[in-house]
Structure 1
Amino acid sequence: MPPLSTVDTLIERYQLQPHPEGGWYRELHRSPLEVQRTDGEGRSALTLILFLLPGGAVSRWHRVAGADESWHFIGGDPLELLQLPPAGGDPQRSWLGFALEDPSLLPVAVVPAGWWQAARSLGAWSLVSCCVGPGFSFADFSLLSDHDPATYPAGALPAWL
């Protein structure tokens, strides 16, 4: 039997499951504290997941309604994160990672509620944690590819669908 790859080891060690946007994840925390959003929907105050993107995979364009999402680099290779405001425009790029000699790498980025986002590893794999507040619910999650292409926001790169 061949040895497990680093990606396979991480999936096994952290008991990760496939995510609909791509990559692998596991929810680590869902706050028991409930909050009410301005639209009247109740959610956990905060949720936290581990999220693994293997090289060559993408976190497809998606958005979370009614909640901000922060991405925190944990390990592996740097990760490229794209963001688009709801109406579209030029994608805003962030690179997450750690390298003292590279000031373009940041350990954290925040995606505002309702903004489109997509990501990819710039190497063999990238491991991040993502926090959503108010807490994540799949009822608030939307993949761009599930929408009519005529409604895609300008700037949504087709290769990331």
Structure 2
Amino acid sequence: MNTKEDYINKLGLEPHAEGGWFKDISHSPDKYFAPESDGERYRYTSIIFLLDSSSPSHLHKLNHDEIWFYHDGQPVIIHCISESGKYWTVKLGKDIKNGEVLQYSVPQNTIFGAEIAGSGFGVVSCVVAPGFDYHDFILFTRSELLEQYPQLSAVITKMTVAEK
């Protein structure tokens, strides 16, 4: 059985700005003008992403869809908040008899983050189309989200970093 350290070391994963560890895996061979980004983007990008109980994916938003694929370890819970404030979760994992799913597409402009269920770690792949670019990424502060969605204070506090 692979350990968290095996994945980090053998795959060359590095810390991600939103939490967890990642490595860019692939992207389309060409770029095109993506109107919603007002710029050139790959048609898709793909990463391997590892989360553990000490490092979740903190709440953020992309202006493109992102598809998550479960691979190994503990199930991964994706927390989602729509622009209107609707909250829902999706559990990625292999226990499909109990509602886990192997993949999930997070809709563009959804505020979302992810954590593992329980202790240990979880490994997923994420594909963004059009391709990921930091210009299309917003990592939220706790105060920004609490001001906008006070009714979701428990999940916002859990899935954001405390401000200094």
Q: TM-score, normalised by structure 2?
A: 0.85
The runs of 5 or more residues in structure 1 that have no matched partner are: none
- 1:74 is matched with 71
1:85 aligns with 2:86: no
- 1:115 is matched with 110
* Match among 8, 13, 17 for residue 14 of structure 2: 17
Kindly tell me: are residues 159 and 146 of structure 1, through their superposed partners in 2, closer, same or farther at Cα, counting changes over 3 Å?
closer
- 1:99 is matched with 95
How far is 1:150 from its partner? 6.2
Q: TM-score, normalised by structure 1?
A: 0.87
Is the Cα–Cα contact under 8 Å of residues 56 and 121 in structure 1 kept in the other structure?
no
- 1:57 is matched with 55
Distance 1:150 1:125 in 2: 28
- 1:132 is matched with 128
How far is 1:153 from its partner? 3.6
Distance 1:129 1:62 in 2: 17
Report the count of equivalent residues: 154
Q: Deviations over 1:114-161 (max 9, x none)?
A: 110011011311000000000000111111118745653453521111
Is the Cα–Cα contact under 8 Å of residues 59 and 160 in structure 1 kept in the other structure?
yes
Distance 1:153 1:36 in 2: 33
Identical positions, percent: 26
Distance 1:101 1:83 in 2: 22
37-46 vs 116-125, greater mean Cα deviation: 37-46
Report the residue type matching 1:115 in the other structure: T
Q: CA RMSD in A?
A: 1.9
Distance 1:146 1:140 in 2: 19
Kindly tell me: are residues 38 and 147 of structure 1, through their superposed partners in 2, closer, same or farther at Cα, counting changes over 3 Å?
farther
Q: Deviations over 1:30-89 (max 9, x none)?
A: 212212223332200000000000124211000112x11000001111110011112323
1:157 aligns with 2:156: yes
How far is 1:11 from its partner? 0.3
The runs of 5 or more residues in structure 2 that have no matched partner are: none
Report the residue type matching 2:90 in the other structure: S
Q: Secondary structure at the match of 1:9?
A: helix
Kindly tell me: are residues 151 and 100 of structure 1, through their superposed partners in 2, closer, same or farther at Cα, counting changes over 3 Å?
closer
Report the residue type matching 1:83 in the other structure: C
Is the Cα–Cα contact under 8 Å of residues 30 and 47 in structure 1 kept in the other structure?
yes
Of Structure 1 and Structure 2, which has the larger fraction of its residues in helix?
Answer: 2
Is the Cα–Cα contact under 8 Å of residues 87 and 153 in structure 1 kept in the other structure?
no
Distance 2:135 2:92 in 1: 27
